[in-house]
Amino acid sequence: MPTALPRGCAEVSAVWRFLSRERTAGSGLRRVPGSADENPVLDEEERYAAKDLVEVYPQWDGQVVGRWNVGAGWALRRSVGEQVFWLNEGFKPKPKELAAGIPVLHNDAKGFLLCPTCGSILTQPPPQKDEKGGRRQPRTRSSGPDLYGHREGCARAGLPPLAQALVASNSAEVLRLIVPVPDEMDESAVNTWGYSLGYALLIGMQRLFVLDVSELEFELEGPWKLGTHRQVSLAFIDPSLGGTGYLRRIADEFHQVARIAIEHLDHLTARAPATAV
């Protein structure tokens, strides 16, 4: 039976109104990458570029232990013991790297040249030119250090690297804010709106409970069709085994989280010209 949380209604709805207003004003909202006065801009961009390489796949297989209503049609649900996969396929290869024939996972991701046997980070030497000017693969040497960087005695010594993805999984605690979205809203607008609201709320959670950026993760799920409407889920993931207990407190104090999110957005708007928000 859902537990009403009337205190949260006005504040969460205000977040929605704020972002809707910004979007319709044509200011081009994008991901909100944290407070600009905490770190140099370059550091922020580098940190988020690397973090964005990791894709998160929550499996919706946990046990739901709490439900709350936050405003008309918005719902919060907290689950425990949910399996979450983190997938890192590396950076997108540059056109000249593809043209040079470097090993890649697929055309959109380079992967990592790790040896699954010895664990070394391998390298692919550049192809050598033969007498006719064509390319051929470098010849492996039978003695001396391995051409590709395998450890001594590795069963795959002398074998060229294959690109691999990195995968991790854990049993995590997940708090989802489930929100209906208008049918006429296209996918890029849903993404812009969802990421902006999600990161603003994440910052609200981090500030209210003085959390490090690594302690909670945010993932936008959907949109998907449910009955006559579409909905998205803003998933906040506590990746530590068994959970730290913060998500339950965040759900209880969601009105405070929304208040801080609004303050953060107001602060950004005040600091930046409208076209740069």
Question: Which parts of this chain interact with Zn ion (CB under 5 A)?
Answer: 115, 117-118, 150, 154, 156
Minimum gap (Å) between residue 153 Cβ and Zn ion = 9
- Residue 114 or 189: which CB sits closer to Zn ion? 114
Distance (Å) of CA 143 to CA 64, 108, 158, 263: 59, 36, 10, 64
Q: Please, are residues 120 and 151 in contact by the beta-carbon 8 Å criterion?
A: yes
| Structure token pair of residue 158 | 């002398």
- Residue 129 or 151: which CB sits closer to Zn ion? 151
Minimum gap (Å) between residue 145 Cβ and Zn ion = 12
- Residue 75 or 118: which CB sits closer to Zn ion? 118
Q: Which of 128, 144, 121, 9 is nearest to 71 (CA)?
A: 9
- Residue 117 or 191: which CB sits closer to Zn ion? 117
Minimum gap (Å) between residue 150 Cβ and Zn ion = 3
Q: Please, are residues 196 and 220 in contact by the beta-carbon 8 Å criterion?
A: no
* Cα separation, 182 vs 223, whole angstroms: 10
Minimum gap (Å) between residue 118 Cβ and Zn ion = 3
| Structure token pair of residue 10 | 């006005």
Minimum gap (Å) between residue 155 Cβ and Zn ion = 7
Angle, CA 172 vertex, CA 167 and CA 173 arms, to 5°: 150
- Residue 154 or 190: which CB sits closer to Zn ion? 154
Cis peptide before 223 (omega within 30 of 0): yes
Phi-psi region of 60 (alpha: psi -120 to 50; beta: other; left: phi over 0): left
- Residue 72 or 155: which CB sits closer to Zn ion? 155
Minimum gap (Å) between residue 89 Cβ and Zn ion = 21
